[in-house]
Amino acid sequence: MAVDATSNVYQTSLDERFTFIRQAGKGTYGTTWIALDKETNSKVAIKAINKTTTNRTSFKKELKYSKHLSKHPHIIKTHDTAFETKTCYVMVQDYATGGDLFDAIEPEVGLDASKARVYFGQIADALEFMHSKKLVHRDLKPENVVLGDSEGSYIKLIDFGMTLRTGTHVSRVCGSIPYTPPEICNAKDEVGFFVEPSCDVWSAGVLLFCMLTGSFPWEQATLSDPNFADFVQWQTGKGRVPHMWRSFSPQLLELFSKLLALDPKDRCKINAVHKYLSEPWYNTELYPSNTHYSQTCYEVDQFMDSYKASPSQCGLSLLPQFGGSHFQSAAVACS
């Protein structure tokens, strides 16, 4: 039985309503299918979330946030009905025919800069809308951005399973991925952290780097990662622009410094992105070897006294580091 998204979720057989066409994706928490809605004769995306990993309350929270955000043009539309089977909670969303952004990014190459500008501006718009509603996505990555049509002319932000309200305290840190900011990577389980929009801003900065290069800037934002340590040296005025950042223009480096400010209090709001969308993003030649591009952030002197960062020679490909054609799904944190 189908019910309104604001009501209870009742059990049903999905085959009564949908003809399943193919599996579109599978992650830690569930599976997404492309299906034909027999009532409307249109293709939809079926997101089935395993009951072994999600309880009814968590599912209804995700459903509520997904519905609440659906009005934005760059956030996927979630339909008015929800379903439950013996093993899964199910929501129905619009089908994005262009696939996900991950598959559109060529490893070690990236996207065409003009397309990256369009996509990144739309991602910033979607996040700005979320943040205006006091919501933080918390899982921004290419797999959670889909292309709305087969031409890839626009994007939609998806997957609000980790979304929380601004100021929510998360007590247990479960892991980290390249998009996770340093204050969360370094958070202790006994202390936890508070959810803030600056988390999404950091993830957006890493996502932009991936879009333009087809590589990660680092595996994780901790000083044990040499690529991140080089980045910290640069941003604190103690080192040169790392090799893999040197093709970017001063204007784009300025944007990266604002998105990826080491102290979350110094990070820009996501709407600061729009100022840079019409600026040049690449240099016609590499920076001279003695170029410095510094920003005052919090001090890391104690660490730098005992740690010698090795020069970065290349990025971290989107493919080899994680095996196969897709990233390994990983949660940023658990509540």
Residue 75 in contact with residue 156, Cβ under 8 Å? yes
Indicate which residues carry an active-site annotation: 139
Residue 312 in contact with residue 230, Cβ under 8 Å? yes
| Residue owning tokens 């840190």 | 173
Q: Can you tell me the distance from the alpha carbon of 215 to that of 227, in angstroms, rounded to the nearest whole number? A: 12
- Looking at the DSSP bridge assignments, the partners of residue 310 are none
Q: How far is CA 307 from CA 214, 227, 233, 284, in A?
A: 29, 13, 11, 34
> b or e along 236-257 (b: 16 or more beta carbons within 10 Å of the residue's beta carbon)?
beebbbbbbbbbbeeebbbbbb
For residue 76, what are its two tokens? Answer: 């996927």
Q: Can you tell me the distance from the alpha carbon of 145 to that of 203, in angstroms, rounded to the nearest whole number? A: 13
What type of residue is 325?
A: S
Contacts with 311 (C-beta within 8 Å, 6 or more apart), sequence order: 230, 242, 243
For residue 52, what are its two tokens? Answer: 């072994």
For residue 195, what are its two tokens? Answer: 């959810």
| Residue owning tokens 């070897």 | 289
